[in-house]
Structures are given as structure tokens and as C-alpha cells.
Structure 1
Amino acid sequence: MSIFAVGINHKTAPVSVREKVAFTPDNLTHALQQMVDDLECKEAAILSTCNRTELYFVQDRPLDVVQQQIIDWLQQYHKVSSNLIAPSLYWHHDSQAVNHMMRVACGLDSLILGEPQILGQMKQAYSQAKAAGSMQVVMERLFQRTFGVAKEVRTETEIGSSAVSVAFAAVNLAKHIFANLKKSKVLLIGAGETIELVAKHLYDNQVSKITVANRTVARAENMAREIGAEVITLAQIPEHICDADIVISSTGSTLPILGKGMIEQALEKRRHRPIFMVDIAVPRDIEEQVGELEDVFLYTVDDLQGIVAQNMENRRKAAIDAEKIVGSGTDDFMAWLRGLNTQNSVVAYRNQCLGRRNELLLKAKQQLANNKDPQAVMAELATKLTNNLMHAPTRAIQQAAQGGELDKLIYLHDVFDLDSKDN
């Protein structure tokens, strides 16, 4: 019994390839059931995100056989050429598979080191496998141990505590200026990807109000609808900016949108309550002189990049400790798995011996019922039972001796305690 992890991710393939082997929530149950049936997997789970698709499963066959099976299955299931996907696949086996799965759950294999979303996606993969009936003892234990390791990494290291995106860094800075963002009003200028991320982080922090200003109102409305924001045009900024405690701007304008005079007027209307401003745009959206105003906290994209770089370095340092925790978790699980395999072997051997004993005992009872001499019956029972139990070990010793396998002979001597003084 072996554990496998097979996948394709942002490191091995572009999105044009990854999207061809992705699984949707609608087809995941069917895919899991097909894996179990077509590949004769004992257990299986599938993790499918925008950055990776990974198959985790328990199989008895050799690695080279499993590799071909998986490639053929993915080709057939997704109707995609094996020549396209095979070069992008990576393969992990047993302890490497366990270690990889735990690293993924901890964010150590993510595009952004330490990102927390992957753990939730891993938990969803676990729930879907449970619902599909493809999760049994080994995978159940592996997922639970993985979740435990991920929790320990989050608790014992700083891998997820620092902002490593410009959008997240901007919101974290705002928290330092305003202790309670729930009372803050926000003006976002622009409707691009960065502003969308900023808006999401602010929305998650339950800010009091978000207003989005953009040259094209229709584009801003699509984003604003998801976060309950108000939309205005760029021309309306002067009349609304005095209400904003936080202003974050990222447009493609070649000229500044916010000048020093506009902000001075806004401060007067606010009675000089401070404004936190972040200019993520290049060229700048906010005039450099705005930073000279006493009640303005102005940060540029360079300031944020410096923070992000330092935080990323902090995460890399934390990742060293996280890897140690993952390594320990891998060792613990593999020790449990070896114990499980040992237990299965012991049970199988015991059942074999008991089965033969019961057969011989039943025959002896029949002989006694037919008035055969009890001493003769007992002698026959003892002889046949002894011969039966001796057969496999005797054959193994003879084959090792005939083949000159000294190591195996020494091992068998130890197993059967043949050098004991009590023999």
C-alpha cells in the first residue's frame, strides 16, 4: 500500500495548460468515483484551485505503472493530449507525498509564500472526498494530520502574519493609523485589479463606507456591487473627498488626479482630522507636495514595496521553522502508517494460523465422535498442526541457505529466535 500525490501547478505549467485539467465542484464527485473505479484506487481526493490541480490517492501498484495510468486517465477524462500535460506533472510517493501535501496546506508551496486560502481549499477537498465516499482510514488520517500540522505552523511561526501584497500592505498601514477601521470612510480611485483587492480587504475589515471613483462608471459599478459601495466619477472627487478618512488611488492617468490645493480644502472641511492616503499608481495620482501637509499620511508604491519586501523576508525566515514542523508531521504519519501495515500483517498471519487450527480441530472432533483412540487423535492433531506451522518458515530457511543469502538467514534466525538458549 503506497500513497501518491500527482499534480500540476503554477511552477510547472501556464494557466492555459492548468485550466485544461482543472476540476469544477460540479464534476468533482464523479471524478473521484471514476478514480476509485477506473484506477482501482483504495482511496482518493482531488485538490483543484486556480494555481494547482493535485490528485492524492492510495494504490498498490508500482510507481511506473501508476504514472502511466494517471496520464491515460487525465487524458481520457479531460479530453486533452497526454503530450500536453505529461511534461508538467510532478510525482510524489509515500513520505514525499505526505510531506508535499502538508507543505501545500501550510502555504509553503504557494505562489505567495504562506498564503492562508489554500488551507480552506484543502479542507474543501477533504469534505468533497468524504461526500463522494472515496475517503477511508489512511486518507482520513492523512488529512487530519495535515490540518493539525497547518494549524501548528500558523500558531508557532510568523509565516502568515505579514502583508506580502501591495493591496494588503495598504490596508495594514491603514490599521496602524486608524485603530478601528469599522468607523472609517474610504475613497478608492480607479477600478483595476489592485483596487479590487484593496476593496476586498477593506470590505473584510467592515469599514463604515466605501466610495469608488472611476473614469468609467460602468466598470466601477461591477466591483462596487459586490461590496455595497457607492460609485462616483473622477469629476465628483472634490466634493466627496472631505468625507474620506482613507484615500487609495491606482489609475492609469498620466497626470496627478489629486493636488495639494484640493486636499487643503478637504482638510479645512474636515477640521483637520487626518487623512491616510496611498498612491499605488505609476505615474503618481497624488501630487508629491500633498505629503507636506501636516494632517496627511501619504505613502507611495515604493513605500509599500519596501514593506512587502521586508515582510516577504520575514516569511522566508518563518518558513524554515515551518519546514521543521512539516518534517516532524511527516515522520509521525509515516510511523503510524508503518504500524498500520505491521498490524495488518500480524492479523493476516494470526488468522491464517487460526484457520488451519480450526480445520484440524474440527477433523479431530469428528474422529473422536467416530470412537477413534483419543491419544492417536491428539498425536495426529499435534503433528499436523506443527508441520503446518513449520512449513513456511522451513521453506524460507532452506531457500535462503540454498541461495547463499546470509543476511536473510541471520534475519530468519532473529525472527524465530533460533539462537535462544531455551531452544
Structure 2
Amino acid sequence: MPLITVGVNHKTAPVSIRERVAFAPEKMVDALSSLLYEKTANEAVIVSTCNRTELYCSVEDVQKADEVINWLGQYHDIDAVDLKQYCYTYCEDDSVRHVMRVASGLDSLVLGEPQILGQVKSAYAVSQEGECLGPELESLFQRTFSVAKRVRTDTAIGENPVSIAFAAVSLAQRIFADIRNSTALLIGAGQTIELVARHLKESGVKRIIVANRTLARAENLATELNAEAIMLGDIGDYLSQADIVISSTASQLPIIGKGMVERAAAKRRHSPMLLIDIAVPRDIEPEVENVKDAYLYTVDDLHSVIEENVRARQDAAKAAEQMIDEGVDAYRRTLESRKVSNLIVTFRQSAEEIKNTELEKALKGLEMGQAPEQVMNKLAHGLMNKLIHAPTRYLRAAGAEADQDALTIASNVLGIHEEKDN
């Protein structure tokens, strides 16, 4: 059955549309069941994230794509005509290629981001749980996961950080031999610092201190990550304990000055301190870079790293696209092989039915007292006539049409060769 993909993403639809067509996790099985119950699709997987909502379907006909869009609009109470302008549709090999690119991070807002593979796997598992998968999508997603794993393993698509938060933490990991023995002081409690905190936690940093002007906000983040919360005014007391300082606030004036860092460095007995200022305006006085054993990096330093890494990811993406092309070809061969397998099974079943029919006749003949030799001759004759009936008809029809190609193929299939006159 044909495969189609219908969806909207960050490239085609604003967030105001994406949020309206998003599926709540607890409603996903019901949505899939509705899609299949209404005969819009025979099998379906729905991937729904902040950047995309996509429906991967096995359908009777590719024209069903319009029906899928209509269903999506009805389910979310959006006029289908309005929705269609934001939707894209892929069919067959293009659909296969698209899901593989999505799972590999090649279609993401941030090229190569790793989270999408887990989200696609979760969507597959939900569909499996809701019994909305069949042989078509089962085979497709297994092949997709294999290709995505190969892309992750054999290319550098996800190795280089391309976000400010991740780049900051990666810089710290490069400077400290083992970040797990380090203490990190994070200044601010906004989204960027929250991402930094999560990356640090994942990297196994020993201790995290969160400083913020509002203690409650610092405590909320600290509680979630098993960190410590302090007021902004207490930074001077804790700075000497920090190996890594990452700051991102909305302050219009510097929070950390050269004198504060000098005092902290003296207490640390000149143990290296990394300071990363990702705020604009800056949170850390530029003169801090003159303090011995204090290493200051700004958001511009990180941007240059990110630009290099984006180029590296783009180079890796070229290799990944080649792997995806190979994956599409392999999936297509699997489908063709399955068709041949089904044909072989049908052929064997037909031969089995002929065998059983003729054998039943032979056994009845023996029960009626017919001579064994006579029964065997009838059995052999009946089997031969029925097994060659269809090929004989095909050969006669091809001969009547003078279809030499068909005759050649039939000769090869039947393992016979026409004897030529001398």
C-alpha cells in the first residue's frame, strides 16, 4: 500500500498554527484510532513536537492525502482550506526519505539535534501500543531507526554544539580534564541558564549553584536539578568556590567586576577559573580577562565556535544524505522482495491445493479397488495437466501476439529452451 506523509513544521507554519494542530500525549492513541476508524488510513504514526506535527500513513491510494488533511482539520476544529496552505505532503519514496531525514535530525530547526530521534521512537511506540501499526509502517520505522543510528554513529552530525547553552558547557568540558570534579556557578534563571544547568547536570558536574535576583526563581531551578540557590548579592561569597562561572541575566550593569574576581582567585590559590559571559549587555567586566588564572569568554567567542560547528554539521549532513538515499533504496528493495515472497507463497499454496486434490482422488481410487498402477498414472497425469495449464495458456497467448520478450521470460522461468530446426 502507498505511504504518505502529511504535516506542518517550523518552516511552513507559525507557532500559532503549530500549537493548534499539536496532539496532547494522552490523546494520541484516541487520535490514531479515529484516523483508522474513519478509514482515512490503514496504518498511522503521529509525531507531534513543538516544531512539527506529522502523520505518517499507509493508505489505499495517494489521493488519501487530502482526506488526511481534512481529518487533521476536523480533529482540531480548523478549516481544512486554511490548514492546507501550511501543510506539505510526501508520497512513497519521498515520504520514506522525509521520515528518515526527520529522525536523523536533518529537518530540525537546529541541524543534527538529537532529541527528535527519541521523539520519533516514542511516537512509534504509542502507535504500536494502540495497535495502529501494520507491516508497512513497521518495516518503514525499523529501517528508519537503523538509518538514523548509522547517521549518528558514522557522521559528526551531532558532535559539535550549535546552541549557546551547549557551546558554553562544551567549552568547559574542553578546558577541564574532568568536569565531574568541578563546581559551577550559574548567574540568572532564564531559559538559557536553565539549558546550561541541564547540560551540566547531564555531563555529571559535581556541584551547581544558581544565583538570581529573585531567590524563588533560583530555588525552583535548583530544586529540579538538585542544586543550591543563592541571592545575586551573595555571589562574592561563593565565587571563590566556582571553577566554572556562566552568566546570563538582563542586568544593564556588570554583576562581576575585576576586583571581585581577583579576590576569588587569591582565595583559590590561583586554581584556574573559567568565566563565560553570554549576556548582552555583558554581566562580567571585560577587564576580568586580565586577571591571572581567570579565563573569560564572551557570547561573541561562542558564536564563532557555533559558526564553525554549523559548517561542520553541514559537511556531515552531506554524508548523512547519502546514507539516507541508501536507506530509501534498501527499504524499496525490502518492499519488492516482500512482493516476490508473497507471490512465491501464493504459487506454492496453489500447487499445494492441486496436489491435495489429486492425492485425494488417488486415495479414493485405491479405496474403490482400482489397480495401484492405474491410480498412479492418473495421479501423475492429473498433476501434470493442472500444473502446466496456466503456463501453457500464457505461452499460447504470447505466441499469438508474437511477443518474443514474453516467450523468452517464460522459457527462463520454466527452465525450457526451444529446440531449433537444423
| Normalised-by-shorter TM-score class | 0.7 to 0.9
Residue 58 of structure 2 corresponds to which residue in structure 1?
A: 58
- 1:326 is aligned to 2:320: no
Distance 2:35 2:117 in 1: 23
C-alpha contact (below 8 Å) 1:357/1:385 kept by paired residues? no
Distance 1:118 1:319 in 2: 16
Alpha carbons of structure 1 residues 143 and 361: separation in structure 2 relative to 1, 3 Å: same
SS of the residue corresponding to residue 53 of structure 1 reads: strand
Alpha carbons of structure 1 residues 378 and 234: separation in structure 2 relative to 1, 3 Å: closer
Distance 1:41 1:70 in 2: 8
Alpha carbons of structure 1 residues 396 and 86: separation in structure 2 relative to 1, 3 Å: farther
Residue 257 of structure 1 corresponds to which residue in structure 2?
A: 255
Distance 1:395 1:191 in 2: 83
Distance 1:220 1:385 in 2: 84
Q: Structure 2: which amino acid aligns with 1:315?
A: R
Q: Structure 1: which amino acid aligns with 2:408?
A: D
Distance 1:276 1:197 in 2: 18
Distance 2:112 2:208 in 1: 29
Deviations 1:367-404 (A, max 9, x none): 89889997997799579737952687379659x94xxx
Deviations 1:59-107 (A, max 9, x none): 2x2212x112212221232222212322222222222222211111111
- Deviation of residue 3 (structure 1)? 2.2
Distance 1:220 1:177 in 2: 27
| Correspondence for 1:416 among 410, 416, 419 | 410
Distance 2:384 2:280 in 1: 92
SS of the residue corresponding to residue 248 of structure 1 reads: strand
Distance 1:224 1:396 in 2: 81
1:27-106 → structure 2 map (5 Å cutoff):
27-39=27-39, 41-59=41-59, 61-64=60-63, 66-106=64-104
Q: Structure 2: which amino acid aligns with 1:389?
A: A
- Deviation of residue 113 (structure 1)? 0.7
- 1:389 is aligned to 2:390: yes
Residue 288 of structure 2 corresponds to which residue in structure 1?
A: 290
SS of the residue corresponding to residue 63 of structure 1 reads: coil
Q: Structure 2: which amino acid aligns with 1:218?
A: A
- In structure 1, runs of 5+ residues without a counterpart are none
C-alpha contact (below 8 Å) 2:74/2:80 kept by paired residues? no
Alpha carbons of structure 1 residues 298 and 33: separation in structure 2 relative to 1, 3 Å: same
Residue 247 of structure 1 corresponds to which residue in structure 2?
A: 245
SS of the residue corresponding to residue 75 of structure 1 reads: helix
Deviations 1:315-357 (A, max 9, x none): 0001111111111121111101111012213333443465467
Alpha carbons of structure 1 residues 396 and 336: separation in structure 2 relative to 1, 3 Å: farther
C-alpha contact (below 8 Å) 2:208/2:228 kept by paired residues? yes
Alpha carbons of structure 1 residues 280 and 333: separation in structure 2 relative to 1, 3 Å: same
Residue 264 of structure 2 corresponds to which residue in structure 1?
A: 266
| Correspondence for 2:337 among 339, 342, 347 | 339
| Correspondence for 2:181 among 180, 183, 186 | 183
- Deviation of residue 42 (structure 1)? 3.8
Distance 1:396 1:309 in 2: 67
Residue 25 of structure 1 corresponds to which residue in structure 2?
A: 25
Distance 1:155 1:378 in 2: 60
Residue 147 of structure 2 corresponds to which residue in structure 1?
A: 149
Distance 1:285 1:378 in 2: 96
1:334-373 → structure 2 map (5 Å cutoff):
334-352=332-350, 354-355=352-353
C-alpha contact (below 8 Å) 2:6/2:69 kept by paired residues? no
Q: Structure 2: which amino acid aligns with 1:2?
A: P
- Deviation of residue 284 (structure 1)? 1.0
Alpha carbons of structure 1 residues 395 and 216: separation in structure 2 relative to 1, 3 Å: farther
Q: Structure 2: which amino acid aligns with 1:413?
A: L
Distance 1:270 1:231 in 2: 21
Distance 1:155 1:238 in 2: 44
Residue 200 of structure 2 corresponds to which residue in structure 1?
A: 202
C-alpha contact (below 8 Å) 1:18/1:53 kept by paired residues? yes
Q: Which range moves more in the overlay, 150-159 or 370-379?
A: 370-379
Distance 2:404 2:12 in 1: 47
Alpha carbons of structure 1 residues 396 and 232: separation in structure 2 relative to 1, 3 Å: farther
- Deviation of residue 239 (structure 1)? 1.7
Deviations 1:92-129 (A, max 9, x none): 22222222111111111111111111111122122222
SS of the residue corresponding to residue 189 of structure 2 reads: coil
Alpha carbons of structure 1 residues 37 and 370: separation in structure 2 relative to 1, 3 Å: farther
Alpha carbons of structure 1 residues 305 and 29: separation in structure 2 relative to 1, 3 Å: same
- Deviation of residue 138 (structure 1)? 3.1
Residue 8 of structure 1 corresponds to which residue in structure 2?
A: 8
Q: Which range moves more in the overlay, 290-299 or 49-58?
A: 49-58
- Deviation of residue 197 (structure 1)? 0.9
Distance 2:177 2:388 in 1: 82
Q: Structure 2: which amino acid aligns with 1:19?
A: E
SS of the residue corresponding to residue 23 of structure 1 reads: coil
Deviations 1:36-79 (A, max 9, x none): 332264432222222112222222x2212x11221222123222
Q: Structure 2: which amino acid aligns with 1:415?
A: I
Residue 120 of structure 1 corresponds to which residue in structure 2?
A: 118
- Deviation of residue 256 (structure 1)? 1.1
- Deviation of residue 195 (structure 1)? 1.0
